[in-house]
Structure 1
Amino acid sequence: MYGWIWRHLPGNAWARAFISLVLALAVVYVLFQYVFPWAEPLLPFNDVTVDGAGAAR
């Protein structure tokens, strides 16, 4: 998959590396701005049920 993307990017190796970096940053931005906030209520990370009943002292 990455080879296919690399072959289809325009320019020489430096231009392709720069474009790849920009694309990766764009994906990270979209994930943090849109995907993760949308998925956060669906994930059970805040549903903790830890109490002190079985804790050793």
Structure 2
Amino acid sequence: MATASLVPHSHCKLCEEPITEGEEYCSEKCKTEYESKEKKSNLKENLFIVVAAIVVIAIGVIFYF
């Protein structure tokens, strides 16, 4: 049984559709949607870090006095 060889390709970062090798997205819609999700994710991570820092500082102040 012969193995089928695949054409070199990548997959879209958002929808995982096969695309031309070296490309990141299959369409502008996927690119825009992926970037939007990344911004929201980064915002959530940054907010978590800020809240955690505030909690640590507050606990430090409470135990100091």
Normalised TM-score (structure 1): 0.47
Which structure shows the higher helix fraction? 1
Which structure shows the higher strand fraction? 2
Query: If you compute each CA radius of gyration, which structure gives the higher value, 1 or 2?
Result: 2
Quick one: higher RCO (CA 8 Å, sep 6+), 1 or 2? 2
Normalised TM-score (structure 2): 0.42
